[in-house]
Amino acid sequence: CIHHILHLLYSRTRHCYSAKMKFGVLSMSSAIAAWTMTSTYLMTTADAFAPMAFSTLPSSCATTTTLHESFADNAKTISDAASSLQGRTVVVKYGGNAMTSPELKAGFCEDVATLQNLGIRVVVVHGGGPQINAMLETVGVESRFEGGMRVSSKEVVDVAEMVLCGSVNKEIASTICSSGGRAVGLSGRDDSLLQCVKKVDKNGYDLGFVGEVETVNTDLLNDLLDMGITPVIAPIGTGIGAEKDIAYNVNADVAAGRIAGELKAARALFLTDIAGVLDKEMELLPNLSCDDVDALIDDETITGGMIPKVSYATSAVKLGVGGAFITDGRVPHALVKEVLAGGAAGTGSGAGGTFVRL
């Protein structure tokens, strides 16, 4: 049922968005009106929609009543979630399979457009590791990793900037626009969006031109968000002061968490290629506090590559983000499901990843 509702939600909000646009800017009143039209439509068409969507099921009063109630419950959950997030910001780190699968890529951009058209302010920070690796191989530039971070020589950063700020960034922004939203592609160097210093690795590795974000130009982001535009950010930062012309390669997860914290976002989502945080029996842990995460690291339930992933989430929450998701980006429409399926509580679907809170 939820798949039918999400499809209907997307098509209706896109229609409402188009109808409410004036001079290219979506006002908050227009966004609220669009959601009101959509939620009313969802609720009033439940009786007609459910039998049509499930016409292959056995026909009986009990079955039909159950389907109607399920549809209505899901519609109310989505309505409550969207209402609680209207005018608030959601920051999404976009990467992994969700970027490389054409179907998942299209679904993600539709999700951004849907949330945006409901009056939710969305910021996208994207990665692009596989695309960078392919180009490095094509041009014959060697690259290696130390402590889980790419060592970034001047040549590596040049290639990363070309790939991330060029084809990858613009394709994401363009697809969001063609899906019914509004988006602008940015680099962290544009208007000094991500101001960085050279990252000093705690293990003593020289990582080259890997940047640590010192300052985020939130004025630029808020100006775009106020106009109903989603910033799509490539994580290439700029130096500070005498080093302002230096380009730094920034980890996309770190950049997303820092941006979310500086914007005091309602939610931060990290789309990954994993199901979420698992216990020692390999069962999903859908809801964790920062203290829970620390305890799970101490008892070695969380190990290896999962540690930096949960660290990005806990760092964002400690910076003031309302809650962070480590979300399975391999699930179609993972973004809109986790943002809207938890209702007003905003803790996610309970099945698509792990929600981390303070």
pLDDT tens-digit map of 133-160:
999 999 999 888 876 678 899 999 999 9
Asked if 75 and 39 touch (Cβ cutoff 8 Å), the reply is yes
Report the pLDDT value the prediction gives residue 349, as an integer from 0 to 100. 84
Asked if 30 and 19 touch (Cβ cutoff 8 Å), the reply is no
More confident site: 99 or 17: 99
What residue ranges in the chain does DSSP mark as E strands? 89-94, 121-126, 144-146, 149-151, 183-187, 194-198, 211-216, 230-234, 236-238, 247-249, 267-272, 287-289, 324-328, 353-357
Least confident of 1-10, 177-186, 279-288, 332-341: 1-10
Query: What is the rounded distance in angstroms from the CA atom of residue 223 to the CA atom of residue 32?
Result: 19
In which band, very low, low, confident or very high, does the pLDDT at 9 lie, cut at 50, 70 and 90?
Answer: low
- Asked whether residue 59 carries a pLDDT value surpassing 80, the answer given is no
The CA-based dihedral angle spanning residues 316, 318, 322, 328, taken in that order and rounded to the nearest 10 degrees: 40
Write out pLDDT tens, residues 212-242.
999 999 999 999 999 999 999 999 999 999 9
Query: What is the rounded distance in angstroms from the CA atom of residue 297 to the CA atom of residue 287?
Result: 15
In which band, very low, low, confident or very high, does the pLDDT at 14 lie, cut at 50, 70 and 90?
Answer: low
Report the pLDDT value the prediction gives residue 198, as an integer from 0 to 100. 94
The CA–CA distances, whole Å, from 64 to 1, 48, 58, 126 equal: 13, 11, 9, 43
In which band, very low, low, confident or very high, does the pLDDT at 265 lie, cut at 50, 70 and 90?
Answer: very high
Asked if 333 and 113 touch (Cβ cutoff 8 Å), the reply is no
Report the pLDDT value the prediction gives residue 295, as an integer from 0 to 100. 95
In which band, very low, low, confident or very high, does the pLDDT at 7 lie, cut at 50, 70 and 90?
Answer: low
Report the pLDDT value the prediction gives residue 5, as an integer from 0 to 100. 59
Least confident of 80-89, 118-127, 161-170, 300-309: 300-309
- Asked whether residue 68 carries a pLDDT value surpassing 50, the answer given is yes
Domains in the chain: ranges and CATH:
82-356 (3.40.1160.10)
Query: What is the rounded distance in angstroms from the CA atom of residue 82 to the CA atom of residue 346?
Result: 9
Half-sphere exposure of 334 (CA within 13 A, CB side): 30
- Exposure b/e, 299-326, CB count within 10 A at least 16 = b: eebbeeebeebbbbbbbbbebebbbbbb
* Gap between the terminal Cα atoms of the chain: 32
> Residue 217: which residues within 8 A CB-CB, separation 6 or more?
191, 192, 193, 194, 195
In which band, very low, low, confident or very high, does the pLDDT at 189 lie, cut at 50, 70 and 90?
Answer: very high
The CA–CA distances, whole Å, from 192 to 169, 186, 200 equal: 17, 11, 21
More confident site: 176 or 98: 176
With CA atoms as reference, report the closest residue to 258 among 235, 224, 238, 275.
235
